[in-house]
Amino acid sequence: MTPEGTHGPEAVTLTMNPTIDLCWEVERLEAIGKNRARVRSVAVGGGGINVARHIARFGGRAIAVHTAGGEVGLRLNRLLDEEGVDHVAVDIAEDTREALVLFETGSRRSYHVVPSGPQLNEGEGERCLEVLERFLGGCPFVVASGSLPGGLRDDYYAAVARRVREAGARLILDTSGPALPAALAEGVFLFRCNRTEAESLVGRPVNSFDDARALNEHLLTTGAAEIAVTTLGALGALCSTSQGHTELYVPPLPGEPLSDAGAGDSMVAALATRLAAGDDPVGACALGVASAAAAMLTPSTESFDVDVARALLPQVRTVSRA
């Protein structure tokens, strides 16, 4: 509930398959003998939870709806409470997953080991939709981000899209896998994809702005999305609307890139925050590119520095195309 006299959240996020990310540091991984490690961090992860966390760090407010099961789920809830993330958990029978991030301090490389997660049943999936619906009346944006766990129908995010639209809210979708085509067939407000997800949709490599433009135009003309954002790694991102296409170039980084694990969630959080504030899609996407760049300067899945993102924003070069 929103306290009297305060504004509601900019977004409610949905995370069907969250994780607890255990980040360990080692000097160098060795095949023989023991690898002595130091615990670097223990934090809750998962697309929608990360987005809600970053929206709050931008000064906004978001509510994270997520699943939680077993002893790991209890720990997940406790960690979110301690962090101060506004969240609502939906109980499930199986244990929430744990993921391992190994950071080699010598090479400064990160290795992410992520299990598939629990199996959900139809009733658990329906309860998540019911909890989500409780917040749709006073919330302009819904962010559905991350993979679907096993056991749910491939059209689950399509059902989310229908309920969001019927409630008069707008859906920002960032997912991959079998659930993606059905959701796009239903239509969403904004769809963000990386090159891997883009390639799965078109069946060929997506390496350039021209490649991204072909995909984005298809998404717009078929009604799959009103705004399409395709990211192209170190090159940047293409933001497309009915008004045209804008190429956004990654600014020069002030340090060595360490990991791209949190880049996508950082971008989506910036998009949701600025769109909720009334920015145009290109302006919102520019902050998204700057935030993704800032995220690459952090190891493992650690949160990016908001001040670094804001400092990089003026250096995001944009080129508009008809």
What positions carry a catalytic annotation?
Answer: 265
Element holding 44 (H helix, E strand):
strand 38-45
For residue 97, the cross-strand partners are 19
Element holding 200 (H helix, E strand):
helix 195-202
Instruction: Read off the amino acid at residue 44.
Output: V
Q: How far apart are the first and last CA of the chain?
A: 44
Structure tokens at 229: 């954002």
Long-range own/partner contacts, residues 174-180 (CB < 8 A, 24 or more apart): 174/47, 174/143, 174/144, 174/145, 174/146, 174/264, 174/265, 174/268, 175/47, 175/144, 175/145, 175/146, 175/147, 175/148, 176/147, 176/200, 177/147, 177/148, 178/148, 178/154, 179/148, 179/152, 179/154, 179/155
For residue 22, the cross-strand partners are 42, 100
Structure tokens at 303: 């949160």
